[in-house]
Structure 1
Amino acid sequence: MSLTTAPRAEGTRRIPVPPLLLGLALALLASLVCGVALGATGIGWGRVLRLLWAGLSGGSVGADDAGAYTIVWEIRFPRVVLAAVVGAGLAAVGVAVQALVRNALADPFVLGISSGAAVGANAVILFGALAGLGVWALSFSAFVSALAATALVYAVARSPLGLSPLRLVLTGTALAYGFQAVTTVMVFGAERGEAARSAMMWLLGSLGGATWPKVPLVAVTVLAGLVWLGVRAGALDALAMGDETAAALGVPPDRLRRELFVVTAAVTGTVVAVSGAIGFVGLMVPHLVRMLVGASHARVLAVAPLAGAVLLVWADLLSRLLLAPTELPVGVVTAALGVPAFLLLMRRGGHALAGR
């Protein structure tokens, strides 16, 4: 299924971007507050707002509020902020990967990056590798193994004729299965118990380990990726129309693909290192946004990150509430939300998904 800029079906109307951005920004703000206020431990809305203001303004809280302040400011707030950043990054990278391989069915994990990250993460969870790094061992190991997987995919996919979309997809898919096999052997080879359960939680995505120190690096990486993609939006439009058209418009397709590959790997590796493998956000959100605003990458990249942020904040909230106090992997929730929504989108707006 090719990603093209073919005309939309008759009767399809674009939603103006400015009001849509304003609505999504307000929805994200409300979602962040809901994500902090709701949970297994009930905290009143007024109290939550007061404690959030105390944390943001550097104010003090009374002894009676000390426990609630810890829950709000040290546990829930960094988690919902990280969920928003991860959701924004996954949605933006979904747009980038679909442009990179010119395939509307691609998502951030089609290149095998998340499967590679899983190998490093499980080495820490199951066998205690890099224990000297303390709380950073998991994120560091996942990020390094994601970059190693990226380098391997690039080395295998590259040919004397350049970096073709088909070779990238086939290589990434094949190596992803290989990385998954390694991960499975590691899980079966480890002792049963809490470590194996933690490994499965990470493989299906979890934001339970969110802390404030993890937020800045992920936020900066995602923001840098968004800025680069925004600057190159016009080149992505040209690439979506085919290599020959892109070259005729002055956009070298091979060089642009290499740049996209690096940006995609950096953002995906950083995000996966702190959240695990959360699927479906990078696949569904770009499609939904294209149906609302059209195929222009400038418009899609302006809206998709906010939409992805709102989606993942609510998915994470549902993962905490559905079986409280037990927590579901957030990847299970995104799949449960995404599969029916995606099928509905295909029935009602198949032209947007099929590029015709």
Structure 2
Amino acid sequence: MSRRGRASLALVILAAALVLSLGLAVSVGSMAIPMGDVYRVMAYELFGLGDSSTWGSGGVHDVVWLIRLPRLVLAAATGAGLGLCGAVMQAMVQNTMADPYILGVSSGAYLGAALALTAGAGTALGGNAMGLAGAVGAFLAAAAVLLLARLGGRSTPVKLLLSGVALSAVCSALGNFCIVLENDDHAAAALVQWTMGGMGAASWPGNAIACGVVISGGLFFWSQYRTLNLMLLGDECAGTLGVELSAKRLIYLLVVAAMVGVLVYQAGMVGFVGLIIPHGVRLLFGSDHRTLLPLAALTGAVFLVWMDVLCRVVLPGNEIPMGILTALVGAPVFLALLARRRYGFGGEV
């Protein structure tokens, strides 16, 4: 079977795996629920099928529809968004170490959350102060990197990386300085908890926004797969073909920052997903973004669904922050990918 044929088959398998994973993952937890009951509750809520007194209320309904399924849907959206953004970022800066939080985005989110905790912004923003301020900080940091990268001429991958490293250091230092000035152990603990990520704050209205942003961003980037493929070849090569990548790179970074900002607001900062998922998909199916993007999205979605399950069940009565498990699982996988001798960034386009 050709590489493209294998990719098409993998898309079908992953889509089916995501649907099955959602149903199975909902049934797993401190309160075991038969999968049949899970699908009956979902059928009632989505299509009005079944007895309302049995499947429209009660303990099983509340656990399935109000607690577990919302967080799993958010996990799927977050995994898909980070997988997409990771693949795009790696093409933009031509660097296998790029992920959605590169270029100061994560540090900008950290600074925004720190300001919300320590500068009185939380009172104005309400209960979602940290998440909202983190999302705004992520987007503003990306915009600042764009401005810095354009100083002295057009932006290049190297200038974007260097600007991101510099701004990241500044934002991290300012965020830490805010915590030191506040001298509040509770604020520091809340900030650390948020930076490790988690799906505990999931809700259906929030999920609708996250899913809408991820789907819209995914369709946009999929329509740009030819340009993303050219980015792997470099600006000079693309220039000989009559394509100017500098302006495209700026647009893509703003879209990535907007997507990451929404996901940061909903789920905090979840690391390693945007790094290892594109690596693994590229290794198996090549670097053609026409197939790489949807495969990375579906793989990231399935991966985070099961990471959320592990977060809930590994320590009975306690929930592990998502970022801890993704790092523990992601780091060995990343090292295994690096050990593959034939692995290369450009791959087969």
Calculate the TM-score normalised by the size of structure 1: 0.89
Matched AA of 1:179: C
1:186 corresponds in structure 2 to: 178
Separation (CA, whole Å) in 1 of partners of 2:307 and 2:36: 24
2:343 corresponds in structure 1 to: 351
Answer yes or no: is the 8 Å Cα contact 2:40–2:55 preserved in 1.
no
Q: Report the more deviating stretch, 175-184 or 108-117.
A: 175-184
Q: How does 1:57-206 map to 2 (within 5 A)?
A: 57-58=47-48, 60-62=52-54, 66-125=58-117, 129-188=121-180, 189-193=182-186, 195-206=187-198
2:8 is the counterpart of 1:18: yes
Q: 1:135 to 1:102 in 2, by over 3 A?
A: same
Separation (CA, whole Å) in 2 of partners of 1:345 and 1:15: 23
Q: Report the more deviating stretch, 267-276 or 55-64.
A: 55-64
Separation (CA, whole Å) in 2 of partners of 1:230 and 1:239: 14
What is the deviation of 1:127? 6.2
Separation (CA, whole Å) in 2 of partners of 1:61 and 1:348: 55
Separation (CA, whole Å) in 1 of partners of 2:61 and 2:183: 38
Q: 1:190 to 1:52 in 2, by over 3 A?
A: farther
Q: Percent identity?
A: 38
Separation (CA, whole Å) in 1 of partners of 2:341 and 2:58: 51
1:253 corresponds in structure 2 to: 245
Answer yes or no: is the 8 Å Cα contact 2:231–2:238 preserved in 1.
yes
Unaligned runs of 5+ in 2: none
From 22, 34, 46, give the equivalent of 1:32: 22
1:309 corresponds in structure 2 to: 301
Q: Report the more deviating stretch, 49-58 or 272-281.
A: 49-58
Answer yes or no: is the 8 Å Cα contact 2:232–2:346 preserved in 1.
no
2:331 is the counterpart of 1:320: no
| RMSD over equivalenced CA pairs, Å | 2.3
1:49 corresponds in structure 2 to: 39
SS of match in other structure, 2:199? coil
What is the deviation of 1:346? 1.7
Answer yes or no: is the 8 Å Cα contact 2:92–2:157 preserved in 1.
yes
Q: 1:34 to 1:183 in 2, by over 3 A?
A: farther
Answer yes or no: is the 8 Å Cα contact 1:98–1:106 preserved in 2.
yes
Unaligned runs of 5+ in 1: 1-11
Deviations along 1:216-263, one digit per CA (max 9) or x if unpaired, are: 221111112111111110011112101121122232111111111111
SS of match in other structure, 2:339? helix
What is the deviation of 1:55? 2.0
1:286 corresponds in structure 2 to: 278
2:215 is the counterpart of 1:215: no
Answer yes or no: is the 8 Å Cα contact 1:278–1:334 preserved in 2.
yes
Separation (CA, whole Å) in 1 of partners of 2:185 and 2:128: 24
What is the deviation of 1:312? 0.9
What is the deviation of 1:173? 1.7
1:273 corresponds in structure 2 to: 265
Separation (CA, whole Å) in 1 of partners of 2:5 and 2:189: 44
Q: 1:41 to 1:123 in 2, by over 3 A?
A: farther
SS of match in other structure, 1:33? helix
What is the deviation of 1:159? 2.4
Answer yes or no: is the 8 Å Cα contact 2:75–2:304 preserved in 1.
yes
Calculate the TM-score normalised by the size of structure 2: 0.91
Separation (CA, whole Å) in 1 of partners of 2:4 and 2:229: 17
